[in-house]
């Protein structure tokens, strides 16, 4: 089998284009929410539902589509996800009212979940191990570029055209990717489509999975606004927990589970998954705190904050290819250990310098954070993907992306909740307390980044316990 990267460029380019489109779409909408609220004469919370609905459906159906992908094949699910995303984008661009816009965003979320699952399943199935690290790094570069360009593109389209162009622009790009996909991917190995209907599907497990994840993200997302002790938040979190318990019980005794229970019992895979989960929490928690620190403590304007935060994405784009090359040629476990340790040191350095005047240490910290995240994610993904085999690519990909989104939600919510505890009790909404003395705020930020350092070192310890799968993985031949 030839393993020259050029033989796989059409597949890799297609995946990068999808990753770029998805990340641009997730960041491009945020900047237009005030304009959308004004257009529909809606409140801020109603406009926020445009983004929240997308995230809820994106996270709630990941594991479900992981199983669907294994039944119908990654290539076919990838195409179906593109079609769903295009349909959602079209309805978003022509939505006559806010309710239909939210419904269209739900359709986009379903399509986005299918794309997230299948991107990594396709890497597992079609890309050989010798270039898998470089492929993952290229996907990170595409994602970083999407986040970097999303805000400025969104501002230009909203300011000079209309917010509807934020969604309409997906249609020509998506159609091009769809046609390119048909040419780039071999279809000979697709399982028969009748398999989805011929084999049993755990409908109730899908329902419990949707309820558990959906209510968890609702509770985490609305807890800050409604209060963590309010009945809606406590009720949603309790029902989410009960649904999760029922789901796990059914998964253990189910003949065709969404989760690979045997894989979860493998301690090497489990330690790697936990390490990845912890670092994702640290990454999103710190990314959530940093803009507030820049605005409340450093007194910077939002547009300046946005320019500084580009440093993190820039480091992703620059260092991800290096991380992929090191992963392919050296040790993914060794690189993940080093990167998690660097992240912990970065948090400690930032905590000890955040009271110093000027922006020098801010720039150093942001670059350090971006470097640590990019050097960790590629080898961590590589470790987890090494446990794939024929028939469970979608399952592992769904589990991996589920951890990404779950870690993001928990990281942001947990960070805000703990940070609130470090500040004087002056009412609900800790991060809105701009009237507090700078010294008090700085102390709260310092303690949070010390906790982030501790969590990073715990993730580093888990990386020591993780191992790459010692059993060989059957690779697909792409001609």
Q: What is the pLDDT of residues 288-303, one digit of tens each?
A: 777 677 777 777 765 5
Give residue 37's pLDDT.
Answer: 74
The CATH number of the domain covering residues in 1-185: 1.20.1250.20
Q: Among 174, 215, 198, 197, which Cα is nearest to 78's?
A: 174
Q: Which of 100-104, 124-128, 424-428 holds the top average pLDDT?
A: 100-104
Domain boundaries, the chain: 1-185, 202-255, 259-474
**Residues in contact with 2: Cβ distance below 8 Å, sequence separation at least 6, in sequence order:** none
Give residue 419's pLDDT.
Answer: 75
For range 128-141, the mean pLDDT: 75
Assign 434 a pLDDT band (cuts: 50, 70, 90). very low
Percent of the chain exceeding pLDDT 90 equals 5
- Decide if 1-185 and 259-474 have a common fold: yes
Assign 345 a pLDDT band (cuts: 50, 70, 90). very high
Q: The pTM is what?
A: 0.69
Mean pLDDT, the chain, rounded, equals 75
Q: What is the pLDDT of residues 189-243, one digit of tens each?
A: 666 555 555 555 567 777 787 788 778 777 776 676 677 788 888 898 899 899 8
CATH classification for the domain delimited by 259-474, as one of 1.20.1250.20, 2.30.30.700, 1.10.3720.10, 1.10.10.10: 1.20.1250.20
Assign 415 a pLDDT band (cuts: 50, 70, 90). confident
More confident site: 102 or 148:
102
């Amino acid at each position: 089998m030839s393993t020259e990267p050029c033989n796989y460029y059409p597949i890799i380019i297609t995946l990068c284009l999808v990753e770029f489109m998805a990340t641009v779409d997730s960041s491009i909408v945020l900047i237009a929410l005030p304009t959308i609220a004004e257009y529909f004469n809606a409140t801020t919370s109603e406009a926020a539902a445009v983004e929240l609905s997308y995230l809820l459906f994106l996270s709630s159906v990941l594991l479900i589509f992981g199983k669907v992908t294994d039944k119908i094949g990654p290539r076919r699910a990838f195409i179906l996800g593109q079609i769903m995303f295009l349909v959602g984008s079209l309805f978003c661009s022509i939505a006559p009212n806010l309710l239909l816009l939210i419904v269209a965003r739900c359709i986009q979320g379903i399509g986005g979940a299918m794309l997230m699952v299948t991107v990594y399943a396709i890497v597992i199935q079609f890309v050989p191990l010798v270039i898998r690290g470089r492929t993952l790094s290229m996907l990170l570069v595409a994602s970083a570029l999407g986040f970097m360009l999303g805000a400025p593109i969104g501002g230009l389209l909203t300011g000079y055209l209309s917010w509807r162009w934020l969604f309409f622009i997906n249609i020509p790009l998506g159609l091009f990717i769809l046609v390119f996909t048909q040419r780039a991917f071999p279809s000979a190995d697709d399982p028969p489509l009748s398999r989805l209907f011929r084999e049993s599907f755990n409908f109730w497990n899908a329902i419990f999975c949707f309820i558990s994840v959906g209510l968890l993200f609702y509770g985490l997302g609305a807890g800050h606004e409604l209060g963590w002790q309010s009945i809606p938040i406590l009720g949603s979190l309790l029902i989410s927990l009960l649904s999760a318990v029922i789901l796990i019980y059914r998964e253990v005794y189910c003949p065709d589970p969404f989760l690979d229970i045997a894989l979860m019992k493998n301690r090497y895979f489990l330690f790697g998954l936990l390490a990845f989960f912890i670092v994702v929490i640290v990454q999103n928690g710190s990314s959530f705190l940093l803009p507030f620190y820049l605005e409340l403590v450093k007194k910077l304007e939002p547009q300046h904050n946005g320019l500084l935060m580009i440093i993190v994405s820039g480091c992703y784009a620059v260092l991800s290819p290096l991380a992929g090359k090191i992963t392919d040629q050296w040790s993914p476990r060794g690189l993940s250990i080093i990167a998690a340790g660097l992240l912990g040191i970065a948090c400690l350095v930032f905590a000890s310098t955040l009271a110093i005047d000027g922006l020098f240490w801010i720039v150093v910290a942001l670059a350090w954070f971006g470097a640590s995240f990019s050097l960790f994610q590629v080898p961590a993904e590589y470790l987890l993907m090494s446990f794939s085999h024929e028939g469970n690519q979608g399952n592992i990909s769904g589990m991996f992306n589920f951890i990404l989104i779950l870690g993001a939600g928990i990281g942001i919510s947990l960070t805000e909740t703990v940070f609130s505890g470090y500040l004087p009790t002056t009412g609900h909404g800790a991060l809105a307390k701009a009237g507090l003395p700078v010294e008090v705020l700085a102390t709260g930020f310092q303690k949070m980044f010390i906790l982030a350092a501790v969590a990073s070192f715990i993730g580093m310890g888990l990386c020591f316990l993780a191992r790459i799968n010692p059993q060989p993985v059957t690779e697909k031949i792409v001609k």
